[in-house]
Amino acid sequence: MTRLCRVLLSGLFLFALTCPASLQALENNAATVALVMKSLSNPFFIQMEQGAKGYAGENEFPLEVFGIKNPTDVALQISIVENLISRNYGAIVIAPADSEKLIPVCKKAVEKGIVVINIDNPLNRETLKSHGLTIPFVGSDNRTGGHMMGEYVKRRLDSRGKVVIIEGIRGVENAELRKRGFTEAVTEDSHIEIIASESAFWNTEQAFSLTMSLLEKHPRVDAIFCANDKMALGVLQALDLLNRKNIMVAGYDNIESVRHAIRIGKMCATMEQHPELMGEYGVMLAWKKLNGHNIPNTMSTPLDLITREHFNKKIGFSVSDLENPFFASMIKGAKKEAALYGMTLSISDAGNNDSQQLMDIVNFQNQQIDAIIVNPTNAETIIPGIDMARVKNIPVITVDRKISGGKILSHVASDNIQGGRMAAGIIAAHLNNRGRVVEMEGIPGTSAAHDRGLGFNDELKTYPDITIVAREAVNFDRTQAGQLMERLHNKGIEFDAVFAHNDAMILGAMDVLTRKNALDSKVMVGFDAIKEAVKAVKDKKITATIAQQPQKMGQLSIRTMALFFRGDKIEPVIPVSLSPVSLSKYPRQEGPIAPDHQQ
156 and 257 co-located in one domain: yes
pLDDT at 453: 97
pTM of the model: 0.81
Residues 7 and 134 in one domain: yes
- pLDDT-above-70 percentage for the chain: 93
Residue 18 has pLDDT above 80, yes or no: no
Q: What are phi and psi for residue 500, nearest 5 degrees?
A: -115, 140
Predicted pLDDT of residue 507:
98
Look at residue 412 in the predicted model and tell me its pLDDT. 97
Q: Is residue 253 part of a domain?
A: yes
User: Do residues 185 and 152 make contact, with C-beta atoms less than 8 angstroms apart?
Assistant: no
Q: Is 568 part of any domain? A: no
The H or E element spanning position 319 is strand 314-319
Query: Both 261 and 349 in a single domain?
Result: no
Return the SS3 of 168: coil
Same domain, 267 and 280: no
Same domain, 109 and 166: no
Q: How far is CA 175 from CA 118, 172, 226, in A?
A: 16, 5, 10
The reply to whether 444 falls in a domain is yes
**pLDDT attached to residue 438:** 98
Cα 285 to Cα 295: distance, rounded to the nearest angstrom: 6
Residue 27, pLDDT score: 56
* Beta-carbon count within 10 A of 529 CB: 24
Alpha-carbon span 547 to 591, nearest angstrom: 10
Regarding whether 420 and 527 lie in a shared domain, the answer is: yes
Q: Is residue 564 part of a domain?
A: no
| pLDDT value for 290 | 95
Number of C-beta neighbours around residue 160 at 10 A: 11
% of the chain with per-residue pLDDT over 90: 88
Are 153 and 212 members of one domain? yes
| pLDDT of 68 above 90 | yes
- Domain assignment present for residue 569? The answer is no
Section 564-580 average pLDDT = 94
- Side-chain half-sphere of 368: how many Cα atoms within 13 Å? 2
Indicate if the pLDDT at residue 25 is higher than 70: no
Same domain, 437 and 497: yes
Its domain, for residue 355, covers: 312-409
Looking at the structure, do residues 421 and 541 belong to the same domain, yes or no?
A: yes
* The amino acid at 378: N
Q: How confident is the model at residue 450 (pLDDT cuts 50, 70, 90)?
A: very high
Give the amino acid at 115.
V
The predicted structure's pLDDT at residue 143: 97
Q: How confident is the model at residue 584 (pLDDT cuts 50, 70, 90)?
A: low
CB 88 within 8 A of CB 30: yes
> Rounded distance, CA 499 to CA 471, Å?
10
Where among 223, 255, 272 does a domain terminate? 272
CA dihedral for 32, 34, 40, 46, sign (positive or negative)? negative
Mean pLDDT, residues 157-165: 98
Alpha helices per DSSP H over 243-392: 256-263, 275-290, 325-340, 354-366, 383-391
Could you tell me if 468 and 493 are in contact, meaning their C-beta atoms sit under 8 angstroms apart?
no
Q: What is the dihedral of CA 356, 357, 363, 369, to 10 degrees?
A: 160
pLDDT at 21 over 50: no
What is the average pLDDT across 531-551?
94
Asked if 98 and 56 sit in the same domain, the reply is yes
Q: Name the average pLDDT for the chain.
A: 92
Report, in this order, helix, strand and coil percent for the chain, each rounded to 5.
Answer: 45, 20, 35
Section 47-74 average pLDDT: 94
Asked whether residue 426 falls in the same domain as residue 543, the answer is yes
Q: Which of 549, 149, 562, 550 is nearest to 338 (CA)?
A: 562
If pLDDT is split at 50, 70 and 90, which confidence band does 308 have? very high
Is the pLDDT assigned to residue 592 strictly greater than 70? no
Q: Does position 336 have pLDDT exceeding 90, yes or no?
A: yes
Question: Would residue 584 count as lying in a domain?
Answer: no
Q: What is the pLDDT of residues 224-269, one digit of tens each?
A: 999 999 999 999 999 999 999 999 999 999 999 999 999 999 999 9
Kindly state the average pLDDT of the residues 386-407.
94
**For the domain that residue 193 is a member of, what is the CATH number?**
3.40.50.2300
Using pLDDT thresholds of 50, 70 and 90, give the confidence band for residue 520: confident
**Whole-angstrom Cα distance, residue 578 to residue 452?**
12
Task: Count structural domains, the chain.
Answer: 4
Q: 212 with 240: CB under 8 angstroms? A: no
| Domain boundary pick from 409, 432, 456 | 409
Domain end marker among 362, 382, 409:
409
What is the rounded CA–CA span in Å between residue 533 and residue 528?
8
Contact by Cβ (8 Å): 317, 373: yes
Task: Kindly state the average pLDDT of the residues 80-99.
Answer: 96
Asked, for residue 251, whether it belongs to a domain, the answer is yes
385 and 338 both lie in a single domain: yes
Q: What is the DSSP string of 171-190?
A: T-HHHHHHHHHHHHHHHTTS
**Per the domain annotation, does 88 fall within a domain?**
yes
